Structure 1
Amino acid sequence: MKIAKSFLLIVCLVLFIISMTISQPSHFYGTEFDVRVINGFTNNSSMPLVIWCSSKQIDLGGRALQEHDDFSWRVRTNFWDNTHFLCTMKWDQKRKRFDAFKAPKDTYRCGPHRKCSWLVKEDAFYFSNNEVNWTKDFSWS
């Protein structure tokens, strides 16, 4: 009797996993997002915007972005939905660390096209999920 209950429990668990994999595959395999950080400064030809991004598992390294240059990468959310990429920005004497992508908040905020874009300007950091409408998210200080 005990073996039959254990077997039934295992069968139910396997069927549940199979049904979840079919009905919500992104939960198990992750959803991909495009993350892009753009140098939106109007005149910084002598001083690039320096960016360094990483997660707990991946170090994307650093870049020096001239005017209108960008740094982009793809993010795949994990099973626990806690994927998190931090970037440090440096320009002249200013330095700012920010969440370039943080699930689950950005899972919704990046919209149906899963596009998470940042425009960094002299005054602030702007966010968009379509690169047409930009919203000021936070300032340098």
Structure 2
Amino acid sequence: MPFEHPLLSVNVFLTLYKTEHHLVQQLEEQLGKFDLTLGRWCVLVALKSSGRPMVPSELSDDLAVTRANISNLLNSLEKAGSIRREFDPNNRRRILVSLTPEGDKLISNVWPVYEQSITQNVGNKLTLEEQSQLKSLLEKLF
């Protein structure tokens, strides 16, 4: 029976899945204090990291989410005043998404909490060498 003695690769996958779920729950608990989900936070970080306005499809590709999902994330962030969508002055068929000053301030306020949550759940449990090894191993999977 495969369920009695699953392949090691199946066990690895299930452990990764459970670990990711646990870490995301812990992080979302902290982000919720700022009325953010992990998805919204990732959009803000992607915009900040790019240093320029982005089209929704770029954000969707960057975050590996569907176009419909990115649209919902952008709607909620725009409603909260963290981003704005404007027509591209060079191509009126394109929409550009950019951070507002409020969104930039939100990133500055949330970032220390974000780092603390990750440090508490990863950095305090794995040595720097183990973190580096895990990162290298996970990179082999994509």
TM range (shorter): under 0.3
Relative to total residues, which structure has the larger helix share, 1 or 2? 2
Tell me the TM-score normalized by structure 2: 0.25
Between structure 1 and structure 2, the one with the greater Rg is: 1
